[in-house]
Amino acid sequence: MAEKAEKKRVDVKIDHGDQAFFTDNVTVLHSPSKFIIDFSQTVPRVDNIDGKMRQTFTIKHNTVILDPPFAKMLLDILKKNLNAFEKKFGSIKLPKKMAQKKKPIETESTTRYIG
């Protein structure tokens, strides 16, 4: 007589982390073993320093590090979602400056990242 398979229980805890992060800039770097995607946000502020109003900029960033296969999967997921978005809502128009092709930056074979 075959033994009955024992049911196993797995508990899962979900950590929702920080609040959503708006980004208005992204830097992508890579090495042979990883992709580094650094999302940043620049927020202008006006502070009262010693009785004088001074404008400052606060830059916040969140960095995501991916292995190459996962980076490729992310690219595929983004392409599929962008296509679905444009089918439903219409073509996404890029500002003229962003639409122009820029000359790629030449880097060493291994990119260094200090975060």
pLDDT digits (tens, 9 = 90+) for 77-112: 999 999 999 999 999 998 887 655 555 555 544 444
The token pair at 10 is: 């797995």
Our count of domains for the chain comes to 1
Residue 19's Cβ-side half-sphere holds a number of Cα atoms within 13 Å equal to 2
Residue 93's Cβ-side half-sphere holds a number of Cα atoms within 13 Å equal to 2
Q: Is residue 13 part of a domain?
A: no
Q: Is residue 18 part of a domain?
A: no
pTM tops 0.85, yes or no: no
Q: What is the pLDDT of residue 102?
A: 55
Structural domain boundaries enclosing 75: 25-91
Higher pLDDT, 6 or 36: 36
Q: Is residue 100 part of a domain?
A: no
Q: Average pLDDT over the chain, rounded to whole?
A: 84
- Over the stretch 39-57, which tens digit does the pLDDT of each residue have? 999 988 888 888 999 998 8
Here the CATH number for the domain that contains residue 62 is 3.30.1040
